[in-house]
Chains A and B, each alone.
Chain A
Amino acid sequence: MEASELLGLLARTLAGIDADLAMPSRLCRACVEILGAQSGAVTLSASPEERLTVSTSDGVSAHIGDLEDMLGEGPGHLALVEDRIVVTPIDGAHPVDDAFPLFSQLVASIRGPATAYAVPMRVSGRVVGVLSLYVEAGRLARDPEDAQFLADAVGMALLGQVDSFDWSTRSRIHQATGMVIAQLGIGPSDALAVLRAHAFAHSTTLETIAREVLARRLAFTYDDTNAVQIERTEEP
């Protein structure tokens, strides 16, 4: 489909979506509808570690996004790193994807048989985020070039609204990372890995663990053998 036709389709679809919703939500839902997906999410990101999910079309996308954030791996991360569309089955029957083995194993518990698409959003040659789509039919209703064009259009539209997004969730994770940096004297990437590992071990989200750390109910220290210990208190 030509660019002008796709833009027209995007405009027509946007026109049919509740105008009271925020623009990121409308754009996300429009992409889900146009591309024949059942669920979707839009995430802005400069790198896999620095990401902000600005809209999810439903709870399924939110759960899958949380899983990817908690594990630090998944199709969205790979799409960002390698700047390409990543497609992976979600059904528990296929062999795990070597690029994100934990995600492959765990995501099937969230969502039944489906296919996950992660499309990098490019603006002026830079990847500025990912459009994630979950399709029960096995494939998108349109070809990958159309999905890429829509993702780029969404990225472009969102860049003009960066200041209006809610950064608080991401801020909490960064702040908790900083507390772990101070507790263990390790670098930001390692501190974030500690938080992720703890979230994984307790089958919860990275944000939940970040809240625990910020509330000083959860802290990390070294024991006599230099192994990381967890200190948990009910009240700070």
Chain B
Amino acid sequence: MALSRYLHDYAARAARALGPDVEASLTVREHGLSLRAGSSTPASARCDQAEVRAGAGPCIDAMSHRSVLVVPSVPGERRWDAWREQALNEGFAKGLAVPAEIAPGFQLGLNLYSRSTDPWSEGLVETAHAYAGLIATGIGLQLQFADVEDAAAGLYRRLSDSAVVEQALGAVMEANACTLDEARQVIRAAARREGVGERVVAETIVRALVTGGHGDIVDGLGP
């Protein structure tokens, strides 16, 4: 599934989870460039688009200052004209912008809109904050691995590689009566010399010991 589709789903889920009168839109910002990423409704999308086009609005400010920004009354808002005008046209009475960090220098803004004039409750603001964090984690994961499937596969590789290399470190410590650091140097040096990964060297060491090989492991792997 494309990242843009995930972002749309994140926004839709956030809106559903936060209340029946809440609409949500997501904007991401990196190196000063803001981009609307996904929205639960066309109206919330248009508001974020107006904000991004103008380069000013609650979401952008919240991301810039890394703090939650509450807009208790859209009609009374005077800081961001383009955003205010669009939000009024859509019939929104209040707004809430919640930032979260996806990665260093890469921010997410969760913009919430409502036609209700009741104030945002403290509980909703905290929940929105936690939700923005969950969304940022999800987006970070997608960007880091391109695909969730790769992330799961990455965990398998990480755990598997780690197990084999750490076992080999212990084997070298025992066989060469050396310290952990010395064992690490042995494996790294062998990997460099052979032009292979540490995992390949580690598997060779363990295999050699299990099949009866003993003695100096450095010589056994050397050219």
Binding site for B on A (CB under 8 A): 2-5, 7-12, 14-16, 23, 44-47, 49-52, 123-126, 128, 156-157, 159-162, 167, 170-171, 174-183, 185-188, 191, 213-214
Contact assessment for B149 and A46 in the assembled complex, using a CB-CB cutoff below 8 Å: no
Can you list 12 A-B contacts (CB < 8 A)? A11-B17, A15-B129, A15-B130, A46-B158, A46-B159, A124-B148, A125-B149, A159-B154, A178-B206, A181-B209, A183-B174, A188-B167
Given contacts A157-B134, A162-B155, A187-B210, contact A15 B127 (CB under 8 A): yes
Name the contact of A157 in the complex, choosing from B12, B126, B138, B206 (C-beta under 8 A).
B138
- Chain B residue numbers with a CB within 8 Å of A51 are 159
Contact assessment for A171 and B166 in the assembled complex, using a CB-CB cutoff below 8 Å: yes
Q: Cβ of B66 < 8 Å from any Cβ of A?
A: no
Mostly helix, strand, loop or mixed at chain A's interface? helix
* Cα-based distance from A182 to B217 in the complex (angstroms): 11
Contact assessment for A162 and B158 in the assembled complex, using a CB-CB cutoff below 8 Å: yes
* Cα-based distance from A45 to B169 in the complex (angstroms): 21
Contact assessment for B152 and A123 in the assembled complex, using a CB-CB cutoff below 8 Å: yes
- Chain A residue numbers with a CB within 8 Å of B210 are 181, 185-187
Interface residues of B in 118-174 (CB under 8 A from A): 123, 126-131, 133-134, 137-138, 140-141, 144, 147-149, 151-156, 158-160, 162-163, 166-174
Contact assessment for A175 and B159 in the assembled complex, using a CB-CB cutoff below 8 Å: no
- Chain B residue numbers with a CB within 8 Å of A187 are 206, 210
- Chain B residue numbers with a CB within 8 Å of A174 are 162-163, 166-167, 169-170
- Chain B residue numbers with a CB within 8 Å of A181 are 167, 170-171, 174, 206, 209-210
Contact assessment for A8 and B131 in the assembled complex, using a CB-CB cutoff below 8 Å: yes
Contact assessment for B170 and A159 in the assembled complex, using a CB-CB cutoff below 8 Å: no
Q: Cβ of B16 < 8 Å from any Cβ of A?
A: yes
Contact assessment for A14 and B160 in the assembled complex, using a CB-CB cutoff below 8 Å: no
- Chain B residue numbers with a CB within 8 Å of A123 are 148, 151-152
Q: Which of B134, B149, B174 has the most CB of A within 10 A?
A: B174
* Cα-based distance from A191 to B210 in the complex (angstroms): 10
Interface residues of B in 65-123 (CB under 8 A from A): 123
- The residue in chain B whose Cβ has the minimal distance to the Cβ of A171 is B166
Contact assessment for B163 and A49 in the assembled complex, using a CB-CB cutoff below 8 Å: yes
* Cα-based distance from A8 to B124 in the complex (angstroms): 10
- Chain B residue numbers with a CB within 8 Å of A124 are 147-149, 151-152
Contact assessment for B148 and A178 in the assembled complex, using a CB-CB cutoff below 8 Å: no
Name the contact of B17 in the complex, choosing from A5, A44, A167, A176 (C-beta under 8 A).
A5
Contact assessment for B141 and A160 in the assembled complex, using a CB-CB cutoff below 8 Å: yes
* Cα-based distance from A7 to B16 in the complex (angstroms): 10
Q: Cβ of B180 < 8 Å from any Cβ of A?
A: yes
* Cα-based distance from A180 to B173 in the complex (angstroms): 11
Nearest-neighbour CB distance to chain A for B42, whole angstroms, equals 19
Q: Cβ of B223 < 8 Å from any Cβ of A?
A: no
Contact assessment for B174 and A179 in the assembled complex, using a CB-CB cutoff below 8 Å: yes
- Chain B residue numbers with a CB within 8 Å of A44 are 155, 159
Q: Cβ of B3 < 8 Å from any Cβ of A?
A: no
Nearest-neighbour CB distance to chain A for B177, whole angstroms, equals 9
Nearest-neighbour CB distance to chain B for A160, whole angstroms, equals 4
Q: Cβ of B221 < 8 Å from any Cβ of A?
A: no
Contact assessment for A50 and B163 in the assembled complex, using a CB-CB cutoff below 8 Å: yes
Contact assessment for B152 and A159 in the assembled complex, using a CB-CB cutoff below 8 Å: yes
- The residue in chain A whose Cβ has the minimal distance to the Cβ of B142 is A160
- Chain A residue numbers with a CB within 8 Å of B17 are 4-5, 7-9, 11
Name the contact of A45 in the complex, choosing from B126, B159, B180 (C-beta under 8 A).
B159
Name the contact of B175 in the complex, choosing from A157, A175, A177, A182 (C-beta under 8 A).
A182
* Cα-based distance from A186 to B128 in the complex (angstroms): 54
* Cα-based distance from A8 to B17 in the complex (angstroms): 4
- Chain A residue numbers with a CB within 8 Å of B148 are 123-124, 156, 159
